[in-house]
Structure 1
Amino acid sequence: MATTLTGGNPHIIQLPKTTSDGPSDPRSIAQQWLSALEIQLSRSQSLNIKDLFHDESWWRDMLALDWDMRTVHTATEIQNFLCKQQTKAQLCKFKLQDTGNFQPRLEQIIDGLSWVSSMFFFETAVGTGTGMLRLTQAEDGVWKAYAMYTSLQELSSAQEPLGKRRAEGTTESMPGGLAGGTWIERRNRQKEFLDEEPTTLVVGAGQAGLNICARLQSLGISCLIIDKNQRVGDNWRSRYRTLVTHDPAEFTHMAYLPFPQNWPQFTPKDKLGDWFEAYASIMELNIWMQTSIVSAEYDEAEGQWTVILARGDGSQRTLRPRHLVWCTGHSGEARVPSFPGQESFQGNVYHGSQHRDASESDVRGKKVVVVGTGNSGHDIAQNYYENGADVTMLQRSGTYVITADKGVFMMHSGMHEDGGPPTEECDIAGESLPWAVQFALNVHMTKRIADAEKETLDGLRRAGFELDFGMDGAGISRAYFTRGGGYYIDVGCSQLIIDGKIKVNHSPGGINGFGNRELLLANGDSLPADVVVLATGYDNMRTTVRKVLGDKVADRCSDVWDLDAEGELQAMWRPSGHPGFWYFGGNLALCRIYSKFLALQIKAVESGISKGVRQ
C-alpha cells in the first residue's frame, strides 16, 4: 500500500489501494494499535513508530504536539516530528471513543480503499485532546496508520465554564459580591472597559470576530470587538438585497449557540445579521460599533500594542492590548481592475462589492455585462435579469458549478446534517484529514456530484459556459482553500444561462478596454454595455493590514490563504509572522471550528505556555 505524490505538486496525491476484506472486530484492531502507539510515545526521543505507520502516512496536528497547525507526511518525517515534540508535549492516556458514530468501525471510503477509523481522546502536559485514527492493512496483514490526527481541545489550567462547570450567576457568587454591583451594573462597566484594558482587540464584528470573542471570553481572556458599521450584523445587511447563505444551517452554527430547530436551511442575509446582533447580546460580547483604528504600534519589549481608536461620538480612546485579531474578512478588500478607455465610458462601472439591488433604478432593457462567474457574479447577473435587464456574463476561465439542492447536501451527508452526529464531533472528524488527502477524496466526491447534476452541467456546456472541476478535479474545496473562489453554488442562475435568458461570452484573454458604450474583449468581440459590474474578487487580507496599520506591520505579516509547503493554510488561525497579531476569517463553519484553536493559542501565550510565534 502506498500514497504517492504526483505531478510535482506536493498537494496532489494518489490514494492507496487496500484489500476489501475487513476485520471482524474493528475495536480490537484500533485498541491494539493505539496501545502500541502509547507505549512508543512513552519512550519520548527513543520512540520507534516504523512498525505502526505505513511509509506513506500522514499526521495532522492542531496544537497538541506543536503550538501551530502542522501536517507531517511519511513515516520517517512523523518519527522525526514526534521525537522533537513528544518530550515536551507528553501525549498519553489514550482512550477510544465508545459511543456514537465515531467509535471504531470499518469504513468503505471509495472503491479500492477502506480503513478502520475511530475517534479517540488523550491527555498532554498542558491539557486534553481529541483525535482520529485511520488504519489500513499492509500486504502482510498488519494494520498500520495511514492518517493520524491530534487536536488540543482544552487547557487543564483554563477549563471553560461549560455544562456542570457553568457559573452560578448569583450576585453573591460574582467576584467581590454585591459590592461589585449587579450583573447589569458590571456589564455596563465591562462594555466600556472602565476598570481594565482588553487583553485582545478584535477588528471586525462579523462571524470571525463574534466567534473568536465568544471563545476568548469563555477562556477568561478579556476582549473588545471594534467595527466601523452602525450595528452588529451590518456586514451582512449591507450586501446585495437578494443574498442568502449557500451553506445549510447544520453546517453554519456559531460557537456555543446553534440555530433553533426551526431555522431555515439557507439564511437570508438580513436574518443572519439579526442573528449576529442577538448572538452578541446573548454571549455578552463587548463591542464598540462605529469605531476605527487611527494608529497601532507594537512594543516588542513589552509584548503590547498601543492602539488609538476613533469612536462614533468623535472621541478617541487609547488602548494597550497584547493581541490584535484581524477579522476584516477574507473577502474584505475589493480587487478593482482598471482598463484603457474606462474614463471615457459613458455607462456605469462598479465593483461587485458595491452592488445593492438592480431594482434601485430602472434597468429594463439596459445592456448589463457582469465580469466574473463566481458566486457574486452569478447572483448579480440573476438580480439584473429578474429586473428586466439584458445580461451577459463575461467568463475568462472555467468555473466549478455545484447546486445548492443536490451537490451541497451530498458533501455534508453523514456529517453536518439534520439528525447527524453532534456538531462538535463532526467538526473534529471533518478537519481530521490533511488537505492533500481531503482533496484526493474530493476528486471522487466531485465525480459523484457531477453524475447527480449531469443535466445541469450538460445544459451549461451547451450554452457555452465553460466548466472547470479544479486542479486534479478536486472541486469546490480545493478552489476555496487555494484560490478563495472560482466556483458557483447554484441557486437559480444556471437555469437562466441554460435557457439563454442570461448570455455568456468566453474571453480567455479578458478585457482589452472600453469604448464609449461598449466593452472591448481580447477575443475580438465587443459587448454593448450600459452597466459593467466587475465581480473580480478580493485582495489578500494582508492588503487591508497594510492599508490600516501601515508597512511596518504588514511587512512582518505573512500573506494569508492558500496552502503552505506542508499543506496547511498560510497564516490563517495560526501565527501570522508578527508577534501579537493574528488573522482570522473564513465561512461561518470555519469560524466556529477554528475559533477554538486560535483562542487556545492566545490563552497559551497569556499563560506563559507558548510564545505565539512560528518556530
Structure 2
Amino acid sequence: MATTLTGGNPHIIQLPKTPSNVPSNPQSVAQQWLSALEVQISRSENLNIKELFHEESWWRDMLALDWDMRTVHTATEIQNFLSKQQTKAQPSNFTLQDTGKFQPRLEQVVDGLTWVSSMFFFETAFGTGTGMLRLTQNEDGVWKAYTMYTALQELNSAQEPLGKRRPVGTTESMPGGLAGGTWIERRDRQKEFLDEEPATLVVGAGQAGLNMGARLQNLGISCLIVDKSERVGDNWRNRYRTLVTHDPAEYTHMAYLPFPQNWPQFTPKDKLGDWFEAYANIMELNIWMQTSVVSAEYDEAAGQWTVVLARGDGSQRTVQPRHLVWCTGHSGEAKIPSFPGQETFQGNLYHGSQHRDASETDIRGRKVVVVGTGNSGHDIAQNFYENGADVTLLQRSGTYVITAEKGVFMMHSGMHEDGGPPTEQCDIVSESLPWPVQFALAAHMTKNIAEAEKETLDGLRQAGFELDFGIDGAGITRAYFTRGGGYYIDVGCSQLIIDGKIKVKHSPGGINGFGHHELLLANGDSLPADVVVLATGYDNMRTTVRKVLGDKVADRCSDVWDLDAEGELQAMWRPSGHPGFWYFGGNLALCRVYSKFLALQIKAVEAGLSTGVRQ
C-alpha cells in the first residue's frame, strides 16, 4: 500500500489501495492499535512507533502536541515529531469513543479504500483532547495508521464554564459580591473598559470577530471588539439586496448558540445580520461600533500593543492589549484592477463589493457586463437580469459549479445535517484529515456530484460556459482553501445561462481596455456596455494590515491562505509571524471551529505555556 506525490505538487496525492479483507470486530482492531500506540508513546526514550504507521501516513495535530497546527507526513517524520514533542506534551489515557456514529467502525471510503475509523479521547500535560484514527491494512493484513488526528479541546487551567460548570449568576456569587454592583451595572463598566485594559483587541465584528470574542471571554480573557460599521451585522446587511448564505443552517451555527430549529436552510443577509446583533447581546460581548484603528505600535519587550482608536462620537481612546486579532474578513480588501481608457468610459464602472441592488436605478434594456464568474459575479448578473438588464458574464477561465440544491447537501451528508451527530463531533471529524488527503477524497466526491448534476453541467457547456473542476479534480474544497474563489454555488443563475437569458463571453487574455461605450477584449473583440461590474475578487488580508497598520507590522506578518510546505493553511488561525498578532477569518462554520483553537493559543500565551511564535 502506498501514497504517492504526483505532478510536482506536494499537495496532490494518490490515495492508497487496501485489501478487501473485512475485520469481524472493528472495535478490537482499533483498541489493539491504540493500546500499542500508548505503550510506545509513554516511553521517555527509545520511542518506536514506526511499526504502527504505514510509511506513507499522516498525523495532523492541533495544539495537543505542539502550540501550532501541524501536518506531519511519513512514518519517519511522525516518529521524529513525536520524539521531539512527547516529553513536553505527555499524551496519555487514550480511550476510544464507545457510543454514537464515531465509535470504531469499518468505512468503505471510496472504491478500493477501506479503513477502520474511530474517535478517541486523551489527556496531555496541559489539558484534554479529542482525536480520530483511521487504520488500513497492508498487503500482509496488518492494521496500521493511515491518518491520525489529535486536537486539544480544553486546558486544565482554564476550563470553560459550560453545563454543570456554568456560573451561578446571583449578585452574591459575582466577584466582590453586591459591592461590585448588579449584573447590568457591571456590564456597563465592562463594555467601556473603565476598570481594566482589554487583554485582546479584535478588529471586526463579523462572524470571525463574534465567534472569537465569545471563545475568548469564555476562557476568561477580556476582549474588546471594534468595528467601523454602525450596527453589529452590518457587514452582511450592507451587501447586495438579494444575498443569502450558500451553506445550509446545520453547518453554519455560531459557537455555543446554534440556530433555532425553525431557522431557514439558507439565511437571508439581513436576517443573519439581526442574528449577529442578537448573538453579541446574548454572549455579552464588549463591542464598540463606529470605531476604527488610527494607529498601532507593538512594544516587543513589554509584549504589548498601544492602539489608538477613533470612536463614533469624535473622541479617541488608547488601549494597550497584549493581543491583536485581525478579523477584517478573508474577502475584506477588494482587488480592483485598472485598465487603459477606463477614465474615458461613459458608463458606470465599479467593483462587485460596491454592488447594492439593480433596482436602485432604471436598468431595463441597458447593457451590463459582469467581469468574473465566481459567486459574486453570478449573483450580481442574476440581480441585473431580474431587473430587466441585458446581461453578459465575461469569463476569463473555467469555473467550478456546484448546486445548492444537490451538491452542497451531498457534501454534508451524514454529518452537518438534521438528525446527524452532534455539531461538536462533526466539527472534529470534518477537520481531522490533512488537507492533501481531504483534497484527494474531494476529487471522488466531485465526480459523484457531477454525475448527480449532469443535466445542469451539460446545459452550461452547451451555453458556452467553461467549467473547471480544479487541480486534480478536487472541486470546491481545493478551490476555497488554496484560492479563496474560482467557484459558484448555484442558487439560480446557472439556469438563466442555460436558457440564454444571461450571455457568456470568453476572453482568456482578459481585458485590453475601455472605449467610450464598450469593453475592449484581448482577442480584439469588444462588448458594448452601459454598466461594468468588476467581480474580480479580493486581495490577501495582509494588504489590509499594511493599509491600516503600516509596513512595520505587515512586513513581519505572513501572507494568508493557501497551504504551506507541510500542508496547513498559511498564517490563518495560528501564529502570523508577528508576535501578539493573529489573523482570523473564514466562512461561518470555519469561524465556529477554529475560534476555539485560536482562543486556546492566546490563553496558552497568557498562561505562559507558549510564546505564540512559530518555532
Structure 1 residue 524: deviation in Å? 1.9
Which residue of structure 2 lines up, in the alignment, with residue 320 of structure 1? Answer: 320
1:256 and 2:256 matched: yes
Within a 5 Å distance, the mapping from 1:532-571 to structure 2 comes to: 532-571=532-571
Q: Amino acid of the residue matched to residue 113 of structure 1?
A: L
Structure 1 residue 312: deviation in Å? 0.3
CA distance in structure 2 between the aligned counterparts of 1:67 and 1:332, rounded to whole angstroms:
28
Which residue of structure 1 lines up, in the alignment, with residue 392 of structure 2? Answer: 392
Which residue of structure 2 lines up, in the alignment, with residue 68 of structure 1? Answer: 68
Structure 1 residue 498: deviation in Å? 0.3
CA distance in structure 2 between the aligned counterparts of 1:110 and 1:532, rounded to whole angstroms:
45
Q: Deviations over 1:263-292 (max 9, x none)?
A: 000000000000000000000000000000
Secondary structure class of the residue paired with 1:186: helix
Structure 1 residue 525: deviation in Å? 1.2
Which residue of structure 2 lines up, in the alignment, with residue 176 of structure 1? Answer: 176
Within a 5 Å distance, the mapping from 1:227-376 to structure 2 comes to: 227-376=227-376
Structure 1 residue 311: deviation in Å? 0.3
Structure 1 residue 45: deviation in Å? 3.7
Within a 5 Å distance, the mapping from 1:159-198 to structure 2 comes to: 159-198=159-198
Q: Amino acid of the residue matched to residue 520 of structure 1?
A: L
1:137 and 2:137 matched: yes
Which residue of structure 2 lines up, in the alignment, with residue 473 of structure 1? Answer: 473
CA distance in structure 2 between the aligned counterparts of 1:22 and 1:91, rounded to whole angstroms:
31
Secondary structure class of the residue paired with 1:71: strand
Q: Amino acid of the residue matched to residue 521 of structure 2?
A: L
1:444 and 2:406 matched: no
CA distance in structure 1 between the aligned counterparts of 2:22 and 2:430, rounded to whole angstroms:
23
Structure 1 residue 20: deviation in Å? 1.9
Q: Amino acid of the residue matched to residue 478 of structure 2?
A: R
CA distance in structure 2 between the aligned counterparts of 1:419 and 1:503, rounded to whole angstroms:
41
Secondary structure class of the residue paired with 1:489: strand
Q: Deviations over 1:294-340 (max 9, x none)?
A: 11000000000000100000111010000000000000000000100
**Are the equivalent residues in 2 in contact too, given 1:45–1:84 (CA < 8 A)?**
no
**Are the equivalent residues in 1 in contact too, given 2:224–2:288 (CA < 8 A)?**
yes
Aligned-pair Cα RMSD in Å? 0.4
Which residue of structure 2 lines up, in the alignment, with residue 9 of structure 1? Answer: 9
Which residue of structure 1 lines up, in the alignment, with residue 595 of structure 2? Answer: 595
Secondary structure class of the residue paired with 1:44: coil
Which residue of structure 2 lines up, in the alignment, with residue 51 of structure 1? Answer: 51
Report the TM-score, using the length of structure 2 for normalisation.
Answer: 1.00
Which residue of structure 2 lines up, in the alignment, with residue 128 of structure 1? Answer: 128
CA distance in structure 1 between the aligned counterparts of 2:216 and 2:293, rounded to whole angstroms:
21
**Are the equivalent residues in 2 in contact too, given 1:128–1:154 (CA < 8 A)?**
yes
**Are the equivalent residues in 1 in contact too, given 2:94–2:123 (CA < 8 A)?**
yes
Structure 1 residue 56: deviation in Å? 0.3
Q: Deviations over 1:347-372 (max 9, x none)?
A: 00000000000000000000000000
Q: Percent identity?
A: 88
CA distance in structure 1 between the aligned counterparts of 2:162 and 2:196, rounded to whole angstroms:
25
Q: Amino acid of the residue matched to residue 152 of structure 2?
A: L
1:531 and 2:513 matched: no
Secondary structure class of the residue paired with 1:466: coil
CA distance in structure 1 between the aligned counterparts of 2:20 and 2:496, rounded to whole angstroms:
45
Q: Amino acid of the residue matched to residue 386 of structure 1?
A: E
Q: Amino acid of the residue matched to residue 358 of structure 1?
A: A
Which residue of structure 2 lines up, in the alignment, with residue 419 of structure 1? Answer: 419
CA distance in structure 2 between the aligned counterparts of 1:46 and 1:411, rounded to whole angstroms:
43
Which residue of structure 2 lines up, in the alignment, with residue 42 of structure 1? Answer: 42
Structure 1 residue 21: deviation in Å? 1.9
1:512 and 2:512 matched: yes
Structure 1 residue 137: deviation in Å? 0.7
Q: Amino acid of the residue matched to residue 465 of structure 2?
A: F
**Are the equivalent residues in 2 in contact too, given 1:394–1:504 (CA < 8 A)?**
yes
Structure 1 residue 486: deviation in Å? 0.1
Secondary structure class of the residue paired with 2:134: strand
CA distance in structure 2 between the aligned counterparts of 1:314 and 1:44, rounded to whole angstroms:
60
Within a 5 Å distance, the mapping from 1:75-224 to structure 2 comes to: 75-224=75-224
Structure 1 residue 173: deviation in Å? 0.3
**Are the equivalent residues in 1 in contact too, given 2:19–2:141 (CA < 8 A)?**
no
**Are the equivalent residues in 2 in contact too, given 1:371–1:535 (CA < 8 A)?**
yes
Q: Amino acid of the residue matched to residue 202 of structure 1?
A: V
CA distance in structure 2 between the aligned counterparts of 1:300 and 1:399, rounded to whole angstroms:
45
Q: Deviations over 1:185-223 (max 9, x none)?
A: 000000000000000000000000000100000000000
Secondary structure class of the residue paired with 2:450: helix
Q: Amino acid of the residue matched to residue 274 of structure 1?
A: D
CA distance in structure 2 between the aligned counterparts of 1:46 and 1:513, rounded to whole angstroms:
66
Secondary structure class of the residue paired with 1:51: helix
Structure 1 residue 76: deviation in Å? 0.3
Structure 1 residue 44: deviation in Å? 3.4
CA distance in structure 2 between the aligned counterparts of 1:45 and 1:504, rounded to whole angstroms:
64
Q: Amino acid of the residue matched to residue 55 of structure 1?
A: E
CA distance in structure 2 between the aligned counterparts of 1:54 and 1:236, rounded to whole angstroms:
47
Q: Deviations over 1:1-46 (max 9, x none)?
A: 1111111111000000011221110001100000000011011342
CA distance in structure 1 between the aligned counterparts of 2:533 and 2:69, rounded to whole angstroms:
38
**Are the equivalent residues in 2 in contact too, given 1:481–1:569 (CA < 8 A)?**
yes
Which residue of structure 2 lines up, in the alignment, with residue 614 of structure 1? Answer: 614
Q: Deviations over 1:79-120 (max 9, x none)?
A: 000001111011100000000110000000011000000000
CA distance in structure 2 between the aligned counterparts of 1:189 and 1:44, rounded to whole angstroms:
50
CA distance in structure 1 between the aligned counterparts of 2:71 and 2:260, rounded to whole angstroms:
36
CA distance in structure 1 between the aligned counterparts of 2:78 and 2:566, rounded to whole angstroms:
12
Which residue of structure 2 lines up, in the alignment, with residue 576 of structure 1? Answer: 576
CA distance in structure 2 between the aligned counterparts of 1:58 and 1:557, rounded to whole angstroms:
28
CA distance in structure 1 between the aligned counterparts of 2:578 and 2:291, rounded to whole angstroms:
24
Q: Amino acid of the residue matched to residue 305 of structure 2?
A: W
CA distance in structure 1 between the aligned counterparts of 2:516 and 2:46, rounded to whole angstroms:
74
Secondary structure class of the residue paired with 1:46: coil
**Are the equivalent residues in 2 in contact too, given 1:45–1:86 (CA < 8 A)?**
no
